[in-house]
A and B are shown apart, each in its own frame.
Chain A
């Protein structure tokens, strides 16, 4: 599974878009990029995943660069409840399904 690199922390103003970057320069062709978040003292919550096309759902958008070496998770209108640790994870489609978590980015949404 690809090693990912994320900034340890970021701030975002409430109501503004939060753009969380992730580098995954060693990702292989069949590895998906998954994003999860963990609000304090809760289990991680699935946000979105993608392979090479940009993806959007009700929670967020995922922009993957053409060379697939990096991606950005976009929360279009951040709220205080979006304050959490965000994890970017590379995972192959053919493995057992386990996810290996890195240190993630702590996003602080401020009023």
Chain B
């Protein structure tokens, strides 16, 4: 069964609005979750590391004020794309590290900004 659940799986929004994507760890508590972004025909790019109870760590070039991450509990991390624009249209994927070190990924959330 699924270990990581993402919601919504797809979303369409108007330019200038904000969109929140949820990532839930279903099988175990996760102090650390990871957010990735993937553009068409490209590989996954790590955006940030989400830490429960503290600020997220962002990769170089990722705007922390643009992509707000909240990890309020051991099973939930959220990514909010603020003031979304068409260039933010992408496939957003979260992941959770399992007990033996491997990462489990959600099914992804496809964002389309009109």
A and B associate in one complex: yes
**Complex Cα spacing A44 to B44, Å:** 9
Of B4, B32, B93, B101, which contacts A32 at CB under 8 A?
Answer: B101
Collect the chain B residues with CB atoms within 8 Å of residue A49's CB: 101-102
**Which of A9-17, A64-72, A93-101 is the interface stretch?**
A93-101
Collect the chain A residues with CB atoms within 8 Å of residue B93's CB: 43-44
Q: What is the interface of chain A mostly: helix, strand, loop, or mixed?
A: loop
Known: A96-B32, A96-B49, A97-B97. A44 touches B105 (CB 8 A): yes
What's the minimum C-beta distance from A96 to chain B, rounded to whole angstroms?
Answer: 6
Bin chain A's interface residue count. 20 to 34
Q: Interface 1/0s, chain A 85-110, versus B by CB < 8 A?
A: 00100000100111111111000000
Q: Interface 1/0s, chain A 54-91, versus B by CB < 8 A?
A: 00000000000000000000000000000000010000
**Complex Cα spacing A41 to B41, Å:** 10
Q: Evaluate contact between B103 and A42: CB separation under 8 angstroms.
A: no
Known: A42-B108, A96-B49, A98-B34. A104 touches B101 (CB 8 A): no
Collect the chain B residues with CB atoms within 8 Å of residue A44's CB: 44, 93, 95, 105
**Complex Cα spacing A43 to B45, Å:** 13
Q: What is the interface of chain B mostly: helix, strand, loop, or mixed?
A: strand
What's the minimum C-beta distance from A48 to chain B, rounded to whole angstroms?
Answer: 9
Chain B minimum-CB-distance residue to A32: B101
Collect the chain A residues with CB atoms within 8 Å of residue B4's CB: 43
Q: Evaluate contact between B49 and A98: CB separation under 8 angstroms.
A: yes
Collect the chain A residues with CB atoms within 8 Å of residue B107's CB: 42-43
Q: Interface 1/0s, chain B 77-112, versus A by CB < 8 A?
A: 000000000000001010101000111111110100
Q: Evaluate contact between B104 and A41: CB separation under 8 angstroms.
A: no
Q: Which residues of B contact A (CB under 8 A)?
A: 4, 6, 32, 34, 36, 43-46, 49, 57, 91, 93, 95, 97, 101-108, 110
Q: Which residues of A contact B (CB under 8 A)?
A: 32, 34, 36, 38, 41-46, 49, 87, 93, 96-104
